[in-house]
Chain A
Amino acid sequence: MGKRDYSLLGPDATRAVETGLAAAAWYHTDVPRRGMKALMQREDGPAIRDSVILYGCMIVFAGIGIALWPGWWSAPFWLAYGVLYGSASDSRWHECGHGTAFRTKWMNDVVYQIASFMIMRNSATWRWSHARHHTDTCIVGRDPEIAVMRPPQFVKLIGSFFGIPEVIDFVPRIIRNALSGPTPQERTFVPESEWGKVRRVAQAYCAIHAATLALALWTGSILPLMVIGLPRIYGAWHHVLTGLLQHGGLADNVIDHRLNSRTVLMNPISRFIYWNMNYHVEHHMFPMVPYHALPRLHDAIRHDLPAPDTSMLSAYRQVWPAFRRQLRHEDYFLKRALPPTAKPYREDLHRISPGTPVGPATPPHALPAE
């Protein structure tokens, strides 16, 4: 079998379109309409409360960090600030990008813009890339947000805990966006009407980072960068720790989120930072349910889902060996058992294998694992 080609312009991308894997109709658990309507309802209260806590804590931690700078006593405050900047911004970017965090549109938009800047994602580009991630979740050649491509690159993976590959990607990309708009790959999912916005957002990001850098050079101190920019590196670890579990080690090229997404029960602090995205199967199946209703959605559909992992540690006990095995066997993945109350996986929907030309001889081997 051929190797996976994750390029959005490559042969696996073409194959996904030809075979109907792209923009397919995905499996959904049946939820009565009235129950689903109640779950989808929007509120401002929970997200206002969480935003006051988040930004209040950031101001306090950064303030203490600056006051104690350059002493080592400032370190714990920078670590706490960094996680809120470099990790909580990931989940805020995500929820506000969906427009579900707040009921009020401008509140979603403001938090989305702040979070996109902090997590170093062009707010005009990533809205569209994330849409593609939802349309074609973990479809090789279609999903631009596959965190761990097969075979896994462990150096890159470990670097991600410090934001290194992302920052290395971000810097030339944002400069290029500022000069000439979206890259050719980005143009495959960002509509032309938005290309000007991609450029303007990039120019704003470049200006803020350049001003921060200039201030650091002028004062002869990295302190300004400790507040803006560097926390994307020293605070990234938590969003990578939680994010790798979303799809890591699970199937690709399937159209049932129970096969390619994972729900993990987590401690309340991680859930606050992650804004309940640990309920990831639920989120992908019903993306219009806001983060604060995901625990209720979980209760409503858990009879139809694989049992959630009971902690991050227990999830990593499966994910890490799966990554290692994928080094030698790219096709390997974890297939979780469904409870007897669940509708079975539709194996017939998942006969397309990446890297393999489509034809009558295509083997049904997209579900090979135990």
Chain B
Amino acid sequence: MPWTKACATQDIDEEDLIRFDHGGQTYAIYHSPEGDFYATAGKCTHEEVHLCDGLVMGHLIECPKHNGKFDYRTGKAKRALVCINLRTFPVKVEDGDVYIEVP
């Protein structure tokens, strides 16, 4: 899969996320408290809700609709109402830009 430039590192505050749409799909890009970057599918696995309006707490993303939580590093569902894990994507940072490997 090709690497796609998603944003600049400074576009995302620490402990926050942004939405990134590409190729008809939507993704979420995260900036962890340690300064690392991660990417997951952009919508919750419970209902079709964009995670970009949710809250990042440490390594968890809380869905804005029903407060389900995922570990955005692994995509693992951590709190009901989410039961299905979130898809994750490889990320790399080069020259101040964040790239994700997506179809």
Residues of A within 8 A of B (CB): 23, 33-34, 36-37, 40-42, 98-100, 103, 105, 127-128, 131, 134-135, 191, 193-194, 286-288
Does A286 lie within 8 Å of B64, measured CB to CB? yes
Does B81 lie within 8 Å of A128, measured CB to CB? yes
Say how far A328's CB is from chain B's closest CB, in angstroms: 37
Query: Which has the most chain A C-beta neighbours within 10 Å: B47, B79, B80?
Result: B80
Give the segment of B29-37, B54-62, B85-93 that binds chain A: B54-62
Q: Mark B62-82, 1 if CB is under 8 A from A, else 0.
A: 101111010000000001110
For chain B, what secondary structure do more than half of its interface residues adopt (helix, strand, loop), or is it mixed? loop
Assembled-state Cα–Cα distance A287/B47 (Å): 15
List residues of chain A with CB within 8 A of the CB of B13: 34, 37
List residues of chain A with CB within 8 A of the CB of B54: 288
Query: Which has the most chain A C-beta neighbours within 10 Å: B65, B66, B67?
Result: B66
List residues of chain B with CB within 8 A of the CB of A105: 79
Assembled-state Cα–Cα distance A30/B9 (Å): 25
Closest 3 CB pairs of A and B: A40-B55, A131-B66, A99-B67
Does B55 lie within 8 Å of A191, measured CB to CB? no
Say how far A311's CB is from chain B's closest CB, in angstroms: 31
Closest to A133 in B: B66
List residues of chain B with CB within 8 A of the CB of A286: 64
Does A191 lie within 8 Å of B83, measured CB to CB? yes
Does B66 lie within 8 Å of A37, measured CB to CB? no
Assembled-state Cα–Cα distance A99/B80 (Å): 10
Known: A23-B48, A42-B57, A288-B55. A134 touches B65 (CB 8 A): yes
Does A100 lie within 8 Å of B83, measured CB to CB? no
Closest to B60 in A: A105
List residues of chain B with CB within 8 A of the CB of A23: 47-48
Assembled-state Cα–Cα distance A370/B83 (Å): 44
Say how far A133's CB is from chain B's closest CB, in angstroms: 10
Does B83 lie within 8 Å of A288, measured CB to CB? no
List residues of chain B with CB within 8 A of the CB of A131: 46, 65-66, 81
List residues of chain A with CB within 8 A of the CB of B65: 131, 134-135, 287
Assembled-state Cα–Cα distance A40/B47 (Å): 21
Closest to B16 in A: A37
20 A-B Cβ contacts within 8 A?
A33-B16, A37-B16, A40-B62, A41-B55, A42-B55, A99-B67, A105-B79, A127-B81, A131-B46, A131-B81, A134-B66, A135-B65, A193-B83, A194-B80, A286-B64, A287-B64, A287-B65, A288-B55, A288-B62, A288-B67
Q: Mark B41-59, 1 if CB is under 8 A from A, else 0.
A: 0000011100001110100
Assembled-state Cα–Cα distance A42/B15 (Å): 14
- A-B contact sample (8 more), CB < 8 A, given A286-B64, A288-B64: A37-B13, A37-B16, A37-B55, A40-B55, A98-B67, A131-B66, A288-B62, A288-B67
Assembled-state Cα–Cα distance A105/B58 (Å): 13
Closest to A193 in B: B83
List residues of chain A with CB within 8 A of the CB of B62: 40, 99, 288
List residues of chain A with CB within 8 A of the CB of B57: 42, 103
Say how far A272's CB is from chain B's closest CB, in angstroms: 23
Assembled-state Cα–Cα distance A39/B100 (Å): 30
Assembled-state Cα–Cα distance A99/B78 (Å): 12
Does B80 lie within 8 Å of A135, measured CB to CB? no
Known: A23-B48, A40-B55, A42-B57. A287 touches B83 (CB 8 A): no
Assembled-state Cα–Cα distance A156/B30 (Å): 49
Assembled-state Cα–Cα distance A98/B54 (Å): 13
Assembled-state Cα–Cα distance A99/B46 (Å): 16
List residues of chain B with CB within 8 A of the CB of A99: 62, 67, 69, 79
Assembled-state Cα–Cα distance A134/B80 (Å): 14
Say how far B49's CB is from chain A's closest CB, in angstroms: 9
Assembled-state Cα–Cα distance A330/B72 (Å): 47
Say how far A169's CB is from chain B's closest CB, in angstroms: 23
Assembled-state Cα–Cα distance A135/B55 (Å): 18
